[in-house]
């Protein structure tokens, strides 16, 4: 594998967007503006504590000030790194200018939103203290300085997606260091120095710890203004880290230490309920995990196989209803109380059977026709559960009232409904279910990973790319798609069985195609597309965001779906491959990227 790197030297030229500043002056303004923004966070921004977060204290940030402080600090750090300071070069292996611009813009937007929120809540900008006006000026100076940077990012050859993980790791590291040298010194690239294995593992551990802290902060934001500020800061911060090359470098490390990264991620996730003192946010955490896990199961059908399933939430409902009916609910006509392990297996089995029964007559259809049929199946399931009430049909599901009184899980003598003390931490009911659902998520991830890397997984990808060509090469398209449909339904059934015990009640209105509150089929499909089709972490991240955002922004009310639709349109325009893209999808959706060498190999 050879790496071709074309570099464009930095020049002190006229800035963009009509801002005519020399590059050196702009860099100084961006760096100094970021540092002054950090200092201004220690001033009072308003005179009254009526605004959430108490921004009246001098010498200690509060609420939204912490978010602005983070944005200003990142802007200043990337600015200092752009001067080639030896101890800071590692911060931006792919160059600093794009990262400075994103950090400065995110900081300015957070400051502007804070000023607007204070004015809207308290009644005008007159409620801003001098510190509030100071931070507006400093963040604006940082942004204007950042906009004047004319640097053009060097073009590098993408990695070969069919190479081994070791070849891809060497390629990514080589590209990162080549761009680093071009960005900072304009000289000839030199190979990267490999870190010891223990140091790489420590880096992975530190990044996972930071990710846990960011996730916990987002989930536990106590008021909507802080959550909106968190979304702005986290979004632009992640984009800046990606442009700086840190995300690519961390991806290379996790690729090299896959098992360590997977174990570390689940240890970090398991630590989340231990950080909570009550079940308020643990409740949100377990529901996020259920939704994200179901989205990962749908990723098999949509992301790997390319089948547009608009009724997937029905399989979640099949698993939930099955588990509720056999777990000792007083509304169940069966009068049985099976142990949880039997209930969850029955829920998964029932979903798999329904997946086969629905898939067998419909999977010979393609495209929009298949989407319409699966949408119809989802509605048929919901209407059937409504009618099985003893009046319109057999008395099986108690109709619209649902199956209530589902008991808590008692697994091997461990009561998930009681509070337990683990290592000195009090773990409540929803924290217990969070850990249980985390185990289910691990099972789903292992199934997804093994399936995607197997022979059947390669057949799924071939069907997704071109079903006619795949069948011409000897792949039984119908059988392969039916396996994907059944496996995806089974994984949804596993999550549904846990959901029934978490919510105590299973009702038909939980399994609709679209409404403002997930889970539903529309949000599940959006989670897969938003996160990144065909990846493991993509649907988990997308599912977490799409469940958390509607729950945190309930003030939008009936406008939630409108805002959600607008956000999706913007995202699909700017990043159609998703937040964590599959490399092949990224190449297909961005024609300006250079195709990997595997294409020329295949042609030869």
Smallest Cα–Cα separation from 74: which of 110, 111, 100? 100
pLDDT of residue 411: 83
Q: pLDDT tens digits for 134-185? A: 999 999 999 999 988 865 544 445 555 555 544 554 455 445 444 444 444 3
Q: Which tokens is 393 given?
A: 């049909």
432 pLDDT more than 60:
yes
Q: Report the share of the chain in percent with pLDDT over 90.
A: 23
Q: Are 531 and 295 in contact (CB under 8 A)?
A: yes
pLDDT band of residue 261 (cuts 50, 70, 90) is confident
CB within 8 Å of 223: residues ≥ 6 apart: 52, 53
* Total-model pTM: 0.79
517 within domain boundaries: no
Same domain for 55 and 126?
yes
pLDDT of residue 413: 80
Give the separation between CA 331 and CA 321, rounded to whole angstroms.
11
pLDDT band of residue 39 (cuts 50, 70, 90) is very high
pLDDT of residue 194: 67
Q: Which tokens is 47 given?
A: 């005179």
Q: Which tokens is 501 given?
A: 């015990």
Same domain for 249 and 283?
no
Q: What is the DSSP string of 88-157?
A: GGGG-TT-SHHHHHHHHHHHHHHHHHHHHHHHHHHTSGGGB-HHHHHHHHHHHHHHHHHHT----PPEEP
Same domain for 217 and 338?
no
Cis preceding linkage at 428, omega within 30:
no
pLDDT of residue 126: 87
- Which range of 90-99, 191-200, 575-584 scores highest in mean pLDDT? It is 90-99
Give the separation between CA 191 and CA 532, rounded to whole angstroms.
31
Q: Mean pLDDT lowest for which of 3-7, 91-95, 376-380?
A: 3-7
pLDDT band of residue 4 (cuts 50, 70, 90) is very low
541 within domain boundaries: no
Same domain for 59 and 176?
yes
Same domain for 354 and 452?
yes
pLDDT of residue 309: 87
Q: Are 101 and 149 in contact (CB under 8 A)?
A: yes
Which domain covers residue 300, as residue numbers? 279-512
Mean pLDDT across the chain, nearest whole number?
A: 81
Give the separation between CA 480 and CA 299, rounded to whole angstroms.
15
Q: How many domains does the chain have?
A: 2
Same domain for 295 and 232?
no
pLDDT of residue 66: 94
Same domain for 230 and 300?
no
Q: What is the DSSP string of 423-439?
A: TTEEE-HHHHHHHHHHH
Same domain for 402 and 481?
yes
pLDDT band of residue 36 (cuts 50, 70, 90) is very high
334 within domain boundaries: yes
Same domain for 176 and 247?
yes
Same domain for 54 and 116?
yes
- State mean pLDDT over 32-61: 91
């Amino acid at each position: 594998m050879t790496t071709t790197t074309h570099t464009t030297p930095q020049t002190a030229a006229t800035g963009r967007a009509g801002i005519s500043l020399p590059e050196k002056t702009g860099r100084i303004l961006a760096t100094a503006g970021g540092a002054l923004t950090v200092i201004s966070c220690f001033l009072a921004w308003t005179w009254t504590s009526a605004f959430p977060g108490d921004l009246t204290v001098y010498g200690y940030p509060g609420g939204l000030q912490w978010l602005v402080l983070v944005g200003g600090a990142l802007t200043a750090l990337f600015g200092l790194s752009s001067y080639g300071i030896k101890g800071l070069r590692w911060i931006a292996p792919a160059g600093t200018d794009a990262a400075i611009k994103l950090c400065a813009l995110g900081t300015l937007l957070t400051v502007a939103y804070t000023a607007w929120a204070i004015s809207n809540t308290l009644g005008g900008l007159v409620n801003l203290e001098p510190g509030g006006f100071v931070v507006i000026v400093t963040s604006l100076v940082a942004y204007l300085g950042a906009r004047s940077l004319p640097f053009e990012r060097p073009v590098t050859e993408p990695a070969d997606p069919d190479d081994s993980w070791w070849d891809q790791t060497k390629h990514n590291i080589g590209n990162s260091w080549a761009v680093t040298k071009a960005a900072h010194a304009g000289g000839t690239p030199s190979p990267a120095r490999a870190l010891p294995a223990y140091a790489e593992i420590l880096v992975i551990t530190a990044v996972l710890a930071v990710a846990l802290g960011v996730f916990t902060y987002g989930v536990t934001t106590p008021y909507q203004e802080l959550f909106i500020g968190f979304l702005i800061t986290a979004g632009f911060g992640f984009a800046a880290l990606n442009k700086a090359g840190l995300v690519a470098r961390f991806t290379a490390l996790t690729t090299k230490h896959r098992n360590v990264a997977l174990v570390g991620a689940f240890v970090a996730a398991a630590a989340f309920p231990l950080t909570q003192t009550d079940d308020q946010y643990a409740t949100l955490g377990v529901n996020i995990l259920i939704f994200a896990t179901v989205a990962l199961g749908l990723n098999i059908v949509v992301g790997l196989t390319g089948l547009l399933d608009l009724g997937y939430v029905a399989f979640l409902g099949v698993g939930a209803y099955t588990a509720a009916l056999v777990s000792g609910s007083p509304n169940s006509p069966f009068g049985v109380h099976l142990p949880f392990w039997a209930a969850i297996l029955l829920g998964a089995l029932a979903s798999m059977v329904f997946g086969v029964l629905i898939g067998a007559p419909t999977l010979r259809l393609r495209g929009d026709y298949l989407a319409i049929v699966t949408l119809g199946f989802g509605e048929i399931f919901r209407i059937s559960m409504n009618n099985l009430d003893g009046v319109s049909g057999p008395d099986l599901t108690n109709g619209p009232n649902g199956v209530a009184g589902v008991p808590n899980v008692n697994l091997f003598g461990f009561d998930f409904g009681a509070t337990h003390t683990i290592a000195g931490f009090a773990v409540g009911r929803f924290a217990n279910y969070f850990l249980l659902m985390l185990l289910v998520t691990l099972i789903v991830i292992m199934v997804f990973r093994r399936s995607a890397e197997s022979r059947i997984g390669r057949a799924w990808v071939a069907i997704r790319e071109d079903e006619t060509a795949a069948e011409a090469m000897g792949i039984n398209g119908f059988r392969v798609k039916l396996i994907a449909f059944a496996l995806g339904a089974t994984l949804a059934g596993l999550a549904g069985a846990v959901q029934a015990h978490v919510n105590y009640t299973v009702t038909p209105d939980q399994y609709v195609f679209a409404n403002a509150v997930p889970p539903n089929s529309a949000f599940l499909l959006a989670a897969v597309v938003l996160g990144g089709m065909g990846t493991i972490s993509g649907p988990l991240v997308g599912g977490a965001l799409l469940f958390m955002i509607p729950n945190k922004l309930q003030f939008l009310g009936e406008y939630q779906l409108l805002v959600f639709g607008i956000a999706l349109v913007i995202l699909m325009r700017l990043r159609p491959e998703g937040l964590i893209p599959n490399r092949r999808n990224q190449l297909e959706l961005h024609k300006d990227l250079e195709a990997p060498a595997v294409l020329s190999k295949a042609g030869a």
